[in-house]
Amino acid sequence: MPDAPTSAEAPRASLAFLRGARLRCPRCGKGRLFRGYLKQVDRCAHCGEDLSEVRADDMTSWLTILIVGILLAPLVGLVETHTDFPVGVSMVLWCGIALALMLAVLPRAKGFLIAAIWLTRRTGRSD
C-alpha cells in the first residue's frame, strides 16, 4: 500500500473533502473526478494523480441514504402534520423529492468518499 500523501503534496483534509464533494480531484481541485455521472476517471487530467485504485463502492449508497434521510425525515414530519394532502399526492410528492435528492447527493457523496480514501491511501485492494 502506498504511503499517505506528504504535507507538501496533499491539501488539508477539509480542502480535499470539499474538492471531492465538488466533483474535482482531491489533490489539485482542478481536474474532473468523473467522466460520467458516477464513472470515476483513472487519472486527473490536470495533475496526473492516479485515482484508479481508489474505490468508494457501497459506502457511497449508504452515505447518500443517510444524508437524504436526515434531510427528508423532519421535513416530511413537519409538512404532513400541518397539511392535509391526500395520501396519493403525499406519496408521489415525497418519493419524487427523495429521488431527486438522491440523484443530486450520490455523485457528491462518492466524490467526498473518494477524497477521504485518497487521503488515507486505503485503496480497497485485497492485498
- Domains in the chain: boundaries: 13-120
Q: Is the dihedral of CA 9, 14, 18, 21 positive or negative?
A: positive
What is this structure's pTM? 0.82
Q: How far apart are CA 61 and CA 107, in angstroms?
A: 10
pLDDT in tens, 36-72: 999 999 999 999 999 988 888 889 999 999 999 999 9
pLDDT at res. 1: 41
User: Nearest-CA neighbor of 24 among 104, 39, 16?
Assistant: 16
> Which amino acid belongs to residue 98?
A
Residue 94 confidence (pLDDT) above 70: yes
pLDDT at res. 103: 97
